[in-house]
A and B are shown apart, each in its own frame.
Chain A
Amino acid sequence: ETGVTQTPRHLVMGMTNKKSLKCEQHLGHNAMYWYKQSAKKPLELMFVYNFKEQTENNSVPSRFSPECPNSSHLFLHLHTLQPEDSALYLCASSQGGWGKDGTEAFFGQGTRLTVV
């Protein structure tokens, strides 16, 4: 248990569906992230939120829409996805300041998304 909770753990959706992934952390962290893990590829950063403000959008298609209503919650809204979007979506949080020793990101268990 890392303190970062993601729901659902598994999701199967059609290409015309709309669904949302949820991430919750009660670690008091100020930064939250969405990562995508596809087979045989590095973990890809999708979005970064610092103090609820989006500070990074890593050229993610608009069919992925993040929302950060407060510093403890992060959503990823999905609509009209493609089969190639099937992957493991990981949420992470951190206190920021990677350059400081002892600072790291805490990851959730991920949502395994399958688009059919």
Chain B
Amino acid sequence: DQQVKQNSPSLSVQEGRISILNCDYTNSMFDYFLWYKKYPAEGPTFLISISSIKDKNEDGRFTVFLNKSAKHLSLHIVPSQPGDSAVYFCAASAMVNFGNEKLTFGTGTRLTIIP
């Protein structure tokens, strides 16, 4: 049972336009959400996060939106740049046992920015 779902395996966006990556989750205990970016032959790197007490978090060109009622979050990148081409993973965590948290990841979305 996949608790974090990224239903779009790939996405192509024109340079300068907005990229929107989506993520859905099923576990209502999740209270912290993160986006990771991964280039080939490298480990994932943290991009941006949001806790369940917020519905929006912005960091430069990156904004994450959280809709708790729909159990949906999205990552907006604007304007999109060629260097943004990578695989983006959505991840979620539940503060069930302090000190024993773990991240549950989605399958990733490959974003390609077209020059």
Residues of A within 8 A of B (CB): 2, 4, 6, 31, 33, 35, 40-43, 45, 48, 50, 55-56, 90, 92, 96-99, 101-110
Residue pair B103, A105 in contact (C-beta under 8 Å): yes
A56 to B95 CA separation, bound complex (whole angstroms): 14
What are the residues of chain A within 8 A of B101 when measuring CB–CB? 96-99
Residue pair A109, B43 in contact (C-beta under 8 Å): yes
Residue pair A42, B99 in contact (C-beta under 8 Å): no
Residue pair B105, A97 in contact (C-beta under 8 Å): no
CB nearest to A96 among chain B residues = B99
Residue pair A109, B46 in contact (C-beta under 8 Å): no
Chain B contact residue count (CB 8 A cutoff): 30
Contact of B43 among A2, A55, A97 (CB under 8 A): A2
Contact of B105 among A43, A50, A108 (CB under 8 A): A43
**Can you list 11 residue pairs at the A/B interface with Cβ under 8 Å?**
A6-B43, A31-B99, A35-B105, A42-B89, A42-B108, A45-B103, A55-B99, A92-B43, A97-B101, A99-B51, A109-B41
Residues of B within 8 A of A (CB): 2, 4, 9, 31-32, 34, 36, 41-46, 49, 51, 89, 91, 93, 95, 98-108
B104 shortest CB reach to chain A, Å: 7
A71 to B103 CA separation, bound complex (whole angstroms): 19
A99 to B53 CA separation, bound complex (whole angstroms): 10
What are the residues of chain A within 8 A of B36 when measuring CB–CB? 107
Residue pair B105, A99 in contact (C-beta under 8 Å): no
CB nearest to A92 among chain B residues = B43
Contact of B99 among A50, A105, A106, A110 (CB under 8 A): A50
CB nearest to A41 among chain B residues = B107
Residue pair B95, A104 in contact (C-beta under 8 Å): no
Residue pair A107, B100 in contact (C-beta under 8 Å): no
A103 shortest CB reach to chain B, Å: 8
What are the residues of chain A within 8 A of B106 when measuring CB–CB? 42
